[in-house]
């Protein structure tokens, strides 16, 4: 809404008088064309100045990843695309920190924030350029993997686990990470059904790790 208001303000004449564009409509064709060119340039400049606001609305302030709002919109798009094209599956991966409360209680919330930023950087740095990494909130992250079948997603998760264990071993305050995945199925009623399946798989992995510890 803020961006729309800014655009309306930019397009509204400041003093209530007719704009140059409206005045030019009463002039020659050359004058009208020149006015249109100037107006288009002004609109492009206005839209360019609004881009940082648009970006800010979809970014998580702590980690710099895409936020939940962006996640929900992108999930709807990918789900609709998969519905249209059976040859274009996609997979959703949910990742969740295992010991966030312990880190906050024992080392303080600043340590918890550092852990979240580190995990965010790890995930974003270990996927393809066109994959989407989001922070859903708290200590939960999501990876939207276009054109990715269940087998390929399993290989990715296995690699993430391996690389995470190596990188995590060097941290002063190690963190744990659980994963769950769901690949698009024809019987999925909507993208929420995929999210529920991935989230449930993540909690299964979390329990498995807790029991193995």
Question: Helix, strand, or coil here: 32?
Answer: helix
Q: How many domains does the chain have?
A: 2
Looking at the domain assignment, is residue 63 inside a domain? Answer: no
Q: What is the pTM of this model?
A: 0.75
- Is the pLDDT higher at 6 or at 121? 121
pLDDT at 128: 95
88-98, pLDDT tens digit by residue? Answer: 889 999 999 99
Domain region containing 41: 2-57
| 113-160 residue pLDDT tens | 999 999 999 999 999 999 999 999 999 999 999 999 999 999 999 999
Pair 14, 88 in one domain: no
Same domain, 94 and 162: yes
**Conformation bin of residue 137: beta by default, left when phi > 0, alpha when psi is -120 to 50:** left
Residues 37 and 85 in one domain: no
From the list 203, 211, 156, 204, the residue with the least C-alpha distance to 183 is 156
Q: Are 24 and 35 contacting, i.e. CB atoms less than 8 angstroms apart?
A: yes
* Residue in 162, 193, 189, 191 with CA at minimum distance from that of residue 71: 191
Residue at 29 is within a domain: yes
For residue 89, being part of any structural domain is answered with: yes
Residues 162 and 88 in one domain: yes
Alpha carbon 39 to its chain centroid, in Å, reads 34
152 and 72 together in one domain: yes
């Amino acid at each position: 809404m803020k961006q729309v208001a800014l655009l309306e303000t930019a397009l509204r004449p400041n003093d209530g008088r007719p704009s140059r564009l409206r005045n030019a409509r009463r002039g020659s064709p050359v004058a009208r064309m020149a006015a249109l060119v100037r107006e288009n340039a002004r609109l492009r400049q206005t839209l360019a100045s609004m881009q940082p606001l648009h970006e800010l609305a979809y970014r998580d302030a702590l980690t710099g990843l895409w936020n939940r709002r962006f996640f929900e919109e992108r999930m709807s798009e990918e789900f609709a695309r998969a519905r249209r094209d059976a040859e274009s599956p996609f997979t959703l991966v949910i990742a969740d920190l295992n010991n966030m409360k312990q880190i906050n209680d024992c080392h303080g919330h600043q340590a918890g924030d550092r852990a979240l930023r580190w995990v965010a950087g790890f995930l974003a740095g270990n996927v393809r350029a066109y994959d989407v990494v989001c922070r859903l909130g708290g200590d939960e992250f999501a990876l939207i993997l276009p054109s990715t079948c269940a087998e390929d997603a399993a290989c990715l998760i296995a690699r993430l686990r391996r690389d995470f264990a190596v990188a995590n071993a060097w941290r002063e305050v190690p963190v744990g990470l659980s994963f769950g995945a769901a690949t698009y199925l024809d019987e999925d009623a909507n993208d929420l059904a995929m999210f529920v399946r991935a989230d449930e798989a993540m909690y299964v992995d979390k329990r498995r790790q807790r029991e193995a510890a």
